[in-house]
Amino acid sequence: MATSPPPQATAAAAAAAAAAMADEESERDSVHTGDRDNAILRLETDMFEKFFNRMEPREMVLERHGSSLDLGQVPYARGRRKSKSRIPTERLICLTVEQKCDLAQRELEETKEDIQRMKENSERILQNLLAVLEEADIRRMDIKKAAADFDKEIIKTITKKKGSVIASSKVLRYMEDKMRIRDVLKEKFRLKNDSLKVQKKKMQMQLKQKEELGEALHEVDFQQLKIENAQFLEKIDERNQELLQLKMMVGSTLQVLNFYKKKLQSTTAMAARLVKDIAQRKESLGRIDHEALLAEEERDVAEILNKKLRKQLAEYKVPPVLDYVHEKMALQELGGTIKIWERKVEIAEMTLQTYRSAWHKAKMTSQQLHAFLPEKQPSTQLQVQEHS
């Protein structure tokens, strides 16, 4: 039978596998770190090459005057070639952080200047194209206007008077007027062009004098100009700080102003509500005053009536009890009499109804007799009348 490996061997194998995995991960991380460092170094190298290519003509000029560009510990001038035996022993000299920052700052400034120059050139080209477009629009409007005038003044006249001498003379006169106007404009533009050329020459002379003066000053008082520039920069910084403080003050003032505006709006709304409430209160007060006047009038009327009733009550005398008894008995007798008469009226109404029914029967009988015996109608009517 095959024997299983001992536990110590298994643990050792697992530890070795874990160590191998850890080494692989560390190598992978180091590879990624190296790639990132290489990318950064490649960017720095490209930037240094651009800076060196841009600064090389300046170094040549300075070498002609007997000076060289100094950027710290590492000069850009040619040095002695190191021997192969001294390369491992000598320490590699690199740029310091300040020098790298200086180079990056210069490269950034140069890039900004290039962008600014490109922007200025683009704006100049754009302005030229806009001027060309504007000139083309003006020219198109002039041609359109001239075509409309020619159509209005010449074409319509020719179509109305076809083949006439007047139309041809009118066309010639129109063309001569246009040519004369063009000659006047051409002379005007020529004079303006001459004046602009004179102004251009004058401005070029002034610019040339200023450039010569600027070069002289640059050669003589460059350090003084640098000091003045630094002073002006300090003043600009101070003014910027003051401007920043003023902006902060303006911001706080605007906040306070907005707060008081909101407060004013709320106060105005409250005042409007109070005015409306006061108007409602005044209206209700007017109604209450009117009702009070009406109540006062009613009170006066009621007081007069009360006085009258009190006077009647004071002057009233109670009749004797015997008179009350007699009146009560008379009232009862009148009530009995009324009931008797009401019964009599009912009996009379019943008798009336009986007589009416009998009359209707007699009337129907007479009508039937009249239908059968028309010659006896007068006598029957007399009998009916006597019976009724």
DSSP string, 309-347: HHHHHHH--PPPHHHHHHHHHHHHHHHHHHHHHHHHHHH
Q: Round the average pLDDT of the chain to a whole number and report it.
A: 77
The pLDDT of residue 78 is 38
> Which of 26-30, 60-64, 100-104, 152-156 shows the lowest per-residue confidence on average (mean pLDDT)?
60-64
How far is Cα 266 from Cα 260, in angstroms, rounded to an integer? 10
Closest CA to 103 of 154, 53, 153, 38: 53
- 217, pLDDT greater than 60: no
In a domain, 220, yes or no: no
Give counts: helices (H), strands (E), the chain. 7, 0
Reported as a pLDDT band with limits 50, 70 and 90, residue 86 is: very low
> Which of 10-24, 88-102, 168-182, 272-286 shows the lowest per-residue confidence on average (mean pLDDT)?
88-102
pLDDT tens per residue, range 197-206: 898 888 888 8
Reported as a pLDDT band with limits 50, 70 and 90, residue 285 is: very high
- 85, pLDDT greater than 70: no
Quick one: 361 and 337 in the same domain? yes
- 74, pLDDT greater than 50: no
CA distances for 54 relative to 50, 112, 302, angstroms: 6, 14, 118
In a domain, 333, yes or no: yes
In a domain, 283, yes or no: yes
Quick one: 307 and 331 in the same domain? no
Quick one: 249 and 312 in the same domain? yes
Mean pLDDT of 315-323: 78
Quick one: 344 and 368 in the same domain? yes
Range(s) of the domain holding residue 345: 323-373
In a domain, 122, yes or no: no
The pLDDT of residue 69 is 39
- 214, pLDDT greater than 80: no
Reported as a pLDDT band with limits 50, 70 and 90, residue 343 is: very high
Say how many residues make up the chain: 388
In a domain, 180, yes or no: no
Domain count, the chain: 3
In a domain, 280, yes or no: yes
Last residue in a domain, options 78, 95, 112: 95
- 348, pLDDT greater than 80: yes
- 166, pLDDT greater than 50: yes
The pLDDT of residue 164 is 55
Quick one: 252 and 307 in the same domain? yes
The pLDDT of residue 57 is 55
How far is Cα 102 from Cα 98, in angstroms, rounded to an integer? 6
Most confident residue range from 32-36, 49-53, 208-212, 271-275? 271-275
Q: What is the dihedral angle through the alpha carbons of 317, 323, 325, 330, rounded to the nearest 10 degrees?
A: -120
Most confident residue range from 61-75, 76-90, 202-216? 202-216
Last residue in a domain, options 296, 317, 338: 317
How far is Cα 76 from Cα 43, in angstroms, rounded to an integer? 19
Quick one: 57 and 82 in the same domain? yes
> Which of 156-165, 208-217, 349-358 shows the lowest per-residue confidence on average (mean pLDDT)?
156-165
Which is more confidently placed, 20 or 290? Answer: 290
Which is more confidently placed, 37 or 303? Answer: 303
The pLDDT of residue 374 is 54
Reported as a pLDDT band with limits 50, 70 and 90, residue 215 is: low
User: pTM of the entire structure?
Assistant: 0.31
How far is Cα 348 from Cα 354, in angstroms, rounded to an integer? 10
Quick one: 90 and 27 in the same domain? yes
In a domain, 117, yes or no: no
Reported as a pLDDT band with limits 50, 70 and 90, residue 35 is: confident
The pLDDT of residue 296 is 92
Give helix 222-315 / helix 165-220 axis angle, nearest 10°. Answer: 110
Last residue in a domain, options 95, 129, 145: 95
How far is Cα 288 from Cα 230, in angstroms, rounded to an integer? 84
- Give rounded-to-5 percent helix, strand, coil for the chain: 85, 0, 15
Most confident residue range from 17-31, 80-94, 239-253, 267-281? 267-281
Quick one: 300 and 266 in the same domain? yes
In a domain, 13, yes or no: no
E-only strand ranges, the chain: none
Mean pLDDT of 274-279: 92
> Which of 54-63, 91-100, 172-181 shows the lowest per-residue confidence on average (mean pLDDT)?
54-63
